Structure 1
């Protein structure tokens, strides 16, 4: 049994929002109440419990707005956006569930209402990219809303949306004196849910368009642009920094060599030779069958690889997924990074296993930032102590932009 939800997989999804409490997300008691309402009833009940909580917060926000209580209305709309955002992870998959799209639209509507109520309104933006529209927000530094400041571009990974990125990082960036730009790219948020555009490996092309857009904003210092990626965004941001050299600092939480490497040992376990495992496109059908059976017997892997992975990549088979995984790599490109790098190393995060290997190939100043279970920050993306991660990240960025790291 998980912390707040009886089902371990639902608990993994449902406890993400704990990281958002310091930044205006739902309180612990509200999250616990959603867990209690879900009970033993699975993904459908999970979805309904989150939506009901979001509807309550949105109704309270409307009531506050009608009485002129702007700050309360802002906070409640933003809180509602987290409830809606948390509802749909268990129903990931192709074809896209209409309930997911409905919840996402409620999420964005509530987020937009809340962000517009800041003294300096934060309004939705659109980044044009290869015929698609990437939703974005420029979040100014608190107290410096009309001044040129350093900018952090935040990029999501597989699961997050602009709402996650706002609460996980952009709100903290604002408090620490940084402007930020958050967006959903191919395979993320509305670009996936509503436009059906899958993720792509060459994230440097995506970030090039985002940097072009950022440089048109009047408050951005072109010499002080950082790129920060969390979860699979740790790969995406790192890949981007190998090809987009207007980035002056890179934060990878955690850094990842790519997508395929984690599957190689599994392939060997199922009978592949090391040579075959070195290129997952060459795996024999019997090995693919064994891998599929292994995934089907593990609810977490079934969700991550079949429901999420195939959908995000626009694929239909695990064989296709393993093959395309070979394209998502920074092998041979690490030496192309030209800016200082910060890499998180949470002690219980298996996805950070390649950190030292990457560090050994870097030709620029870098910092490996450890996080421990004793600090409450030892898990993936430090979600149980996100504030610690944010404090250390922005302290490091301050040092980079002050010229203290060369």
Structure 2
């Protein structure tokens, strides 16, 4: 059932900022106003409505800054970054839509401007990685920026950006007393949009330089560093933890054994056996053509697989996409996770279905947290009640790391 937007896909994307309300990313009335502005419009109208709302916030921030109201200017800039971030998801795909790039650059500028107005100021960082660089920010523990504190490293999923992680997780963790290191890796945010660097399965290779970077900060307690991932990050974070012994804890929201496992139900509906579905890149051409017809006829599937998946993986056909997706697996890695690991499982999230399988295969200290529809937290990444997710996971992290 649509909440604020008439188009189902627009409503899914446009209501993400509802999760950010407790953390200053939006207010309900603002989201409704954007929905009214879109009306029966297409993806371009959706994009334009969010951009107009973001521009209005930036203009107000400029006026506040000129009049010395720096706290308000900061809040408005950060909020504008969330609005710009919401504008371009329907535009995903390769070649990159110029409107997406323009919006992302506005988002980054507003985010940087807002953080620079923080006390103390926070500035953009770059983590060296294989001849390129990963954008990052160190968000200090609220009121304890200069004190040695535990660090929570946040890793994204398929289509979130640093701005989304900031509002979804970092604000809550900072308030709780954690320093937070946010970064986008290959296939995410600026690395995909600006650098054209695609997603990769071996996230342990990505996480190592992030941890190398983090331990050099004098405010970070190197014995209490945790890694948390949401959405596809529920695969990426455990995969990273499987090769990084310096981590003291890992959070997977939700835990994923891999990518291909989530295709099973969809392929079963098309009459494809479980055995064949386990290696979908080896299906015959006629079957792949039939799958592609179904994907192309469904707006959400086409966006998820063709617009997002093909682009993030750097492929242009279904077989190559599936071949790449098969490499994203924890089968040979899950036993290498040694640190205490928290697994979340939301009642109505299809991607949470394998969380119990993942949990059962863990050989490290482990905890499974269930989230229900009755709590308003049964959807993907508990976006309907993100504050509940943050409270419970941070309680677990406090106990695991001995944070007082």
TM-score, with normalisation over the residues of structure 2? 0.98
Q: Distance in 1 between matches of 2:372 and 2:265?
A: 26
Structure 1 CA distance for aligned equivalents of residues 262 and 86 of structure 2: 27
For residue 374 of structure 1, report the CA deviation from its aligned partner.
1.1
Unaligned runs of 5+ in 2: none
| 1:69-118 deviation per Cα after TM superposition (whole angstroms, max 9, x unaligned) | 01010001111111111100000000000100000000010011111111
Note the C-alpha offset of 1:276: 2.8
Is the 1:310–1:316 Cα contact (8 Å) retained in structure 2? yes
Are the equivalent residues in 2 in contact too, given 1:5–1:35 (CA < 8 A)?
yes
Aligned partners of 1:81 and 1:108 also within 8 Å: yes
- Correspondence for 1:124: 124
Q: Report deviation, 1:272.
A: 4.0
Q: In structure 1, what is the equivalent of residue 201 of structure 2?
A: 201
- 2:95: which partner in 1? 95
* 2:364 pairs with 1:367: no
CA–CA distance in 2 between the matches of 1:361 and 1:226?
A: 20
**Structure 1 match to 2:65:** 65
Q: Deviations over 1:18-68 (max 9, x none)?
A: 011111112111110000000001110000000000000000000000000
Q: Which moved more, 1:122-131 or 1:257-266?
A: 257-266
State how many pairs are aligned.
404
Which TM-score applies when normalising by structure 1? 0.97
Unaligned runs of 5+ in 1: none
**Alignment partners' CA distance in 1, 2:363 and 2:403:** 17
Q: Match of 2:178? A: 178
Whether contact under 8 Å (1:204, 1:240) holds in the other structure is: yes
Confirm or deny: 8 A CA contact 1:272 1:283 kept in the other structure. Answer: no
Compared with structure 1, are the counterparts of its residues 362 and 66 closer, same or farther at alpha carbon in structure 2 (3 Å cutoff)? same
Let me know the Cα RMSD of the aligned residues: 1.3
Q: Which residue of 1 is the match for residue 4 of structure 2?
A: 4
- How far does the alpha carbon of each residue in 1:265-299 deviate from its partner, in whole angstroms, 9 at most, with x for none? 44444454444333222111111011101111211
The offset of 1:359, in angstroms, is 1.5
Shift of 1:245: 1.4
The equivalent residue for 2:285 is 285
Q: Per the alignment, in what secondary structure is the counterpart of residue 86 of structure 1?
A: helix
Question: How far apart in 1 are the matches of 2:177 and 2:76?
Answer: 24
Matched residue, 2:341: 341
Measure the CA separation in 1 of the matches of 2:145 and 2:115: 14
Partner of 2:115: 115
Residues 23 and 171 in structure 1, CA contact (< 8 A), matched pair in contact too: yes
